[in-house]
Amino acid sequence: MLNRRKLITSGGLALAGLSLTNPSLKAQLLRSQVDPEFVIKNGRIRQSIMGWCFNKHYNAVELAQVCKELGLVAMEGIPRDAYPAVKKLGLDISLISTHGFANGPCNPENHDEVVTKLNEAIDVAKDVGCKNIITFTGMRFDGMDDEKAAQNCIDTWKEVLPKAEKAGVTIVLEHLNSRDDTHPMKGHPGYFGDDVDFCADLINRVGSPNFKLLFDIYHVSVMNGDIIRRIRQYKDIIGHYHTAGNPGRAELDNTQEINYPPILQAILDTGYTGFVAQEFIPEWDDPRLALQHAAQLCDI
């Protein structure tokens, strides 16, 4: 049997071995460590941005120019009439918005709206060369039966999927946290799909290669945790990623608990080649520096 000293020694050697696998990985990046001249160089993580987070600071085209200067390669969550200008700058559209998180298919009253908006988004995605559109379960409602609600979701998505499959478009289901009630976009109390494992089960029950999981690292951190293990567990059904700091959905800096570089390395290790969209709400005085910070941290 190993004694305590041997255990400590062997554990230290194991940790040393792990540290040698990628010695360039850093922990959270201090604001003071941001390089004001930084531009994305490695590009192994295809960084996008969720535009709504920066609405207070830039319109979509202004934000697109900032993204272009910093080396981000795509945008999402912006008005559709901005797509031509964004594409002209050489940026991709990484995700098409649809019916919103509240009016989802768990409630049969939303069925027609969800089907219509998903079908419209598939057409838009095909026109602009975007591979992903988003969907949500929707919010709980009075008298709801969970299994019936789950089946409502599955049946609705299956109704739309033949068109998505034909167009080469993937519908990605976003898991959201229902825990944070401090801000309408930091958490969504009452959201049906607030357990990422449950969302993964819904995806497996749908059973289409064109229906996948939007793995929002922030929401998973709030509700479930064990992020890297879940990335590895669900790698075959993950179609998109979002970032943000936790708590607060702010910058990915040293004031929050998620250590992004090893998470991003885990994503790369799964063979993922899609987009990772920055979806934090900037709190720094300089929103461009906040985005530059995130871009630098995630350019592993």
SS3 of 117-183: the string is HHHHHHHHHHHHCCCEEEECCCECCCCCCHHHHHHHHHHHHHHHHHHHHHHCCEEEEECCCCCCCCC
From residue 105, alpha-carbon distances to 42, 117, 141, 170, 219 in Å are 40, 12, 11, 17, 20
Residue type, 88: K
Q: What is the mean pLDDT of the chain?
A: 92
What does the DSSP 8-state code read for residue 187?
Answer: -
Q: CB-based burial of residue 275 (10 Å sphere; 0-12 exposed, 13-18 middle, 19+ buried)?
A: buried
In one letter, which amino acid is 300? I
Of 88, 44, 41, the C-alpha closest to 64 is: 88
Task: State how far the Cα of 60 lies from the Cα of 86, in Å rounded to an integer.
Answer: 8
pLDDT of residue 12: 44
186 within 8 A of 145, measured Cβ to Cβ:
no
Long-range pairs for 270-273 at CB < 8 Å and ≥24 separation? 270/231, 270/232, 270/235, 270/238, 271/235, 272/235, 272/238, 272/241, 273/46
Q: Which are the contacts of 165, defined by CB distance < 8 A and separation ≥ 6?
A: 208, 209, 210
Q: Tens digit of pLDDT for each residue in 74-103?
A: 999 999 999 999 999 999 999 999 999 999
Residue 179's nearest CA partner among 244, 248, 227 is: 248
- Amino acid identity, position 30: L
pLDDT score recorded for residue 31:
81
Cα gap 121→101, rounded to integer Å: 15
Residue 12: how many CA atoms within 13 Å on its side-chain side? 6
Q: Which residues in the chain come in under a pLDDT of 70?
A: 1-27
Q: Show the domains of the chain with their CATH numbers.
A: 44-298 (3.20.20.150)
H or E segment and range at residue 271: none
